[in-house]
Structure 1
Amino acid sequence: MTHALPDYLTRNVGFDDCPPGHRFGLYFAGWEADWRKPSNKTPAFKTVASALPQHSRDALAAIRQRQALLATQLGDTVFAHPARLTAPLATGLGNEHPLENGFAFLNPHGLPYLAGSGVKGVLRRAAEELESGEWGDAAGWSQTAIDALFGLETESGDTQATRTRGALLFWDLFFQPPANKVALSVEVMTPHHAGYLQNGGTPHANESPNPIPFLAIPAGCECTLYVQCNPALIPAGAAELRQGWQALVEAAVEHAGEWLGFGAKTAVGYGRLGIDPKAQAERAARREAEAVERRKQDAEAALASMPPDQQLLNRLDARLSSLPTDPRTKTPILQLTSGKDWLPTLELIDAHAGALAELAKPQREALASEIKKRLGAYFKVEGKADKAMKERLAAVRGG
């Protein structure tokens, strides 16, 4: 095989240090001596797949670091999704190339990547599937949200309807191979009926299989999917998306990564993207913390709507319920008032005593009796502690 390059470039210069994109395009060395395409294409693909010199690894790391730094500077306007390929990813197969199956490389770096436009198409499709309801929970997606975030599309040939730009911007996706691994692999598709499918022959089972190699980014490569939002482009009628767009995008990414796939040949399982396990654990912990906080806020709001005596009893019950109980009888274990729980309990009563002024005398008497009953069930109240309790109960009664 030889290069389609002038002799003065190839005589004393090797191209082993070239990035994979340059080996595949600019310095392609797959021609036969008589300039025919090779009959066996696999060696040419393997030459490209094995090309990832150190300077290309450094360039890839610098690009990903630049993206991470920019995302940090932009803050909440960027959604970052650390992920890992769970299946090989093929992209740019339709690009023209002497080996018939092309590939997408970012020039001038010569590094494999998935263009942001491809990411947008998959995520829009994922959002539309979720919105349809056919997958159960729509995860908050609606047609209004799709039009606002991805843009309002029109039917092909429609020149009258208004098109709008979506608020989301999708960054190019770069894939980091594991240490000491190459950035590309050689995959093979094997059609068995080329004569029937391509040459108009009759269908039969006697045709020979025709292995066709092509490049792909191997499973296990890591990447970070970035989606940027310009809140100024969200219409006034969908203002709630300014706060909720990240949750919608996250749901679309997870759906697309598991069920749709990115790039080409997704119908046969290529391009599946799973969240990085460490990031998944962190995200689950964050969701749980947010759910706990929401429940706490809901409980506080419910308490705030109650009468002051009921508020005090509910808060007192919540505090006392955290104290130890006998595992056999489920009854409280009496705590000494010299322990750490007694004074905070009294302070809780002090904090609510002032709000009881609007209550009638009988209500305050009943409340004092309930408090005394609860404290006696959880604490061994005697001596100075008994005196302190009586002072609080007197304040509750209004005496």
Structure 2
Amino acid sequence: MALPQRIAAIPSYIPKELKDTAPGHRFQLYLEHWQGQNGNTFTPYKKARPQGKDERTLFDRECAGVLKDLCLLPPSSLDALKGIRTRQQTLLAHYGSSGYRISATSTAPFATGLGNEHPIENGFAFLTPYGLPYLAGSGVKGILRRAAEELALQNETQQPGDWTWLAVWCLFGFEGAVDKGSLWDATSTLGQAFLRDLSKTAVQPDLYALIRTLFAGSKEGARFLDTENQGTEQFLRACMAGKSLRGGLQCRGALDFWDVFPNPAGGKLVVEIMTPHYSKYYQGEETPHDSGAPIPVSFLAVPARSQFDFHAICHPSRLPESLKNQWRVLLDRAFRHAFEWVGFGAKTSVGYGAMEKDLAAQKRHEEAHQAAQDAARKDQEKRSREEANSRLSPAMRAAQEFFEARVDTNQSELSTLFGGLKKGVWSSDTKFEIAQYVRQLMIKDKKWKEKSEKKNPAKDNDHQDTLMVMKCLGSGK
């Protein structure tokens, strides 16, 4: 039996050669996973699965081949990926000390967006219009929040300096509407740990500021600010009691996370396979048993040893004083915990999405970031000098330019300008005005001596220098 033709459901005027097309476009728009009927309509290729064993084997291999065909990132996609990652680095430099970056290398394949609708049943997250794999910043924030909550769970003392429940709220935001499995669920592990720490959290001074933010100064929240009646503890217990109070409460945290664009190892994606053994049991058709035939299911992934750069921006104005100097250390701990124990993307429960900090890349990025900051600082200083020089007289501008052009950068301004006068660099009014300025510098440094107290005035350097300047001023002999 001849296999049906595998084609892309695209108009005839679109080129058939798609090798230089981004993998996301080939996966979502130009997927060769259809069969044509009468040259006009398209039906899913999987519906044409033949009955014979050998034919099914060839057919399944052909189906899997559609993913392998689009794994390689063409040169245009690699250039676009490099450009995006470079722009993120450049933009981060503008945030200065409020920017955060950590580099990682995946130790296992990374998959995301598998639940997206797609003809092959397993989707993948590609960012339009680039057609490149990515992990949304909201997904990064969710994973980091989970990691921070797990670390707060381990902090039984709830002392500042480590992750606390209050630190989680300040950095990631307060979410009152969530329930099942969260810290508001008393039956969950997080909920039980929060109940254990509730009294310790209630006495933290920064909780008052959070309550004011949540209630925006309304009278409803005033009772929870009563220190005599333990208002903060009443607030936390009311939140644990149900959604009637906390359901409408929310505030934004201090951290913003950017989308992550992985740099795939080898410049290509990989095809992973999962083999559900109990499909009929999951579909409710029969009880589970070991004699069922597993059905291989293919899906895309970013291979292990790929590079990931995570970026975050902190807004210190949203933080209490106690966290303004700690947020970076806390974020380091959250990322380390997420890399080792939580994972990013899909299928983390079976090992996907695990990572480790890339120390070499981190060092390179920190050096590049420091170099960019130094260059920006020097550029700012240069502009400030130029602005200041523009307000100077022509003579003083000439003095400033002469001083900045000195060979020995350790030479003082007085020594440099005195040397210029001695060599006769300037003349006329310029010389006179610079000599006046040098006189002021000498008086300030207590080097101006019109009369010498030494027996041999010729050996009194300060006196001789004073005479030379006076000569330039026209008052010396």
TM-score bin (small chain): 0.5 to 0.7
Residue 53 of structure 1 aligns to which amino acid in structure 2? Answer: P
Instruction: Give the conservation status (yes or no) of the 8 Å contact 1:191–1:210.
Output: yes
Mapped to 2, the partners of 1:176 and 1:48 lie a distance apart of: 16
Question: CA offset at residue 233 of structure 1?
Answer: 1.8
Aligned-pair distance for 1:183? 3.1
| 1:268 equivalent among 350, 372, 377 | 350
Match of 2:44 among 36, 42, 51: 36
Q: Residue 261 of structure 1 contacts residue 272 of structure 1 at CA under 8 Å; is this kept in 2?
A: yes
Question: Residue 232 and residue 262 in structure 1: after superposition, are their counterparts in 2 closer, same or farther (change >3 A)?
Answer: same
> Any conservation in 1 of the 2:281–2:288 contact (CA below 8 Å)?
yes
Measured after TM superposition, the shift of residue 26 of structure 1 is: 1.3
1:74 to 95, 117, 126: 95
Match of 1:254 in 2: 336
The 5-angstrom pairing of residues 59-208 of structure 1 reads 59-133=80-154, 140-156=162-178, 158=243, 160-161=245-246, 162-178=249-265, 181-208=266-293
Give the TM-score, by structure 1 length: 0.65
Any residues of structure 2 matched to 1:305-320 within 5 Å, and which?
A: none
Q: What amino acid maps onto 1:168 in structure 2?
A: L
Q: Which amino acid aligns with 2:109?
A: P
Does the 8 A contact of 1:85 with 1:272 survive in 2? Answer: yes
- The answer to whether the 8 Å contact 1:116/1:170 transfers is yes
- In the alignment, structure 1 segments of 5+ residues that lack a partner are 284-399
Structure 1 residue 136: deviation in Å? 11
Tell me the secondary structure at the aligned position of residue 169 of structure 1.
strand
SS of the equivalent of 1:80 reads strand
Give the paired residue count.
276
User: Who is 1:20 aligned against?
Assistant: 23
Contact 2:155 2:164 in 1 (8 A): no
- The residue type equivalent to 1:147 in the other structure is W
Q: Secondary structure at the match of 2:310?
A: strand
> 1:37-87 deviations in whole A, cap 9, x for unaligned?
33533111111213x111110000000000011111211111110111111
Runs of 4+ in structure 1 off by over 4 angstroms are 134-139, 279-283
Alignment partners' CA distance in 2, 1:151 and 1:214: 34
Q: In 2, distance between residues paired with 1:203 and 1:90?
A: 28
Q: How far apart are 1:36 and its partner, in Å?
A: 2.6
Would you say 1:242 and 2:242 are equivalent positions?
Answer: no
SS of structure 2 residue aligned to 1:87: coil
Kept after mapping to 2: 8 A contact 1:130/1:137: no
| Distance 1:114-1:18 versus aligned 2 partners, 3 A rule | same
Tell me how far 1:15 sits from its aligned partner.
Answer: 1.4
**Maintained 8 Å contact 1:112/1:174:** yes
* Farther-moved stretch of structure 1 (202-211 vs 248-257): 202-211
What is the alpha-carbon distance in structure 2 between the residues aligned to residue 6 and residue 246 of structure 1?
52
Measure, in 2, the Cα distance between the counterparts of 1:220 and 1:272.
10
Distance in 1 separating the partners of 2:30 and 2:114: 19
Deviation at 1:7, TM superposition (A): 2.0
Task: Determine helix, strand or coil for the equivalent of 1:121.
Answer: helix
Whole-angstrom distance in 1 between the partners of 2:293 and 2:166:
51
- CA apart distance, 1:221: 0.8
Task: Return the letter of the residue paired with 2:114.
Answer: L
TM-score by length of 2: 0.55
1:257-290 C-alpha deviation (Å, 9 max, x unpaired)? 111000000000000111113257799xxxxxxx
| Residue type of the alignment partner of 1:22 | H
1:230 paired to 2:315? yes
Question: Aligned-pair distance for 1:173?
Answer: 0.6
Q: Contact 1:170/1:228 (CA < 8 Å) preserved in 2? A: yes
Mapped partners of 1:120, 1:159: distance in 2: 27
The answer on whether the counterparts of 1:189 and 1:213 sit within 8 Å (CA) in structure 2 is: yes
Q: Which whole-Å CA distance do the structure 2 matches of 1:137 and 1:47 have between them?
A: 53
1:193, 1:207 within 8 Å by CA — same for their partners in 2?
Answer: yes
Query: What secondary structure sits across from 1:7 in the alignment?
Result: coil
Q: Equivalents in 1 of 2:78, 2:106: separation in Å?
A: 18
Conserved in 1, the CA contact under 8 Å of 2:23 and 2:70? yes
1:6 maps onto 2:24 in alignment: no
Identity %: 45
2:326, 2:353 → 1: CA distance? 27
Letter of the aligned partner of 1:278 in structure 2? A
State how far apart, in whole Å, the 2-side matches of 1:198 and 1:48 are. Answer: 31
Deviates more, 1:198-207 or 1:58-67: 198-207
Aligned to 1:392: none
Equivalences for 1:378-393 in 2 at 5 Å?
none
Name which of structure 1's ranges 59-68 and 271-280 shifts more when overlaid on structure 2: 271-280
Structure 2 SS opposite 1:205:
coil
Instruction: Give the Cα–Cα distance (whole angstroms) in 1 for the partners of residues 158 and 78 of structure 2.
Output: 41
Q: Determine the C-alpha separation between the residues in 2 that align with 1:183 and 1:8.
A: 28
Distance 1:110 1:233, change over 3 A: same
1:47 corresponds in structure 2 to 69
**Which secondary structure does the structure 2 equivalent of 1:241 belong to?**
helix
What is residue 198 of structure 2 aligned with on the other side? Answer: none
1:153–1:53 CA distance, 2 compared to 1 (3 A): same
Supply the RMSD in Å over aligned alpha carbons.
Answer: 2.4
Match of 1:56 among 73, 77, 80: 77
Separation (CA, whole Å) in 2 of partners of 1:100 and 1:49? 17
Shift of 1:137: 11
- The SS at the match of 1:114 is coil
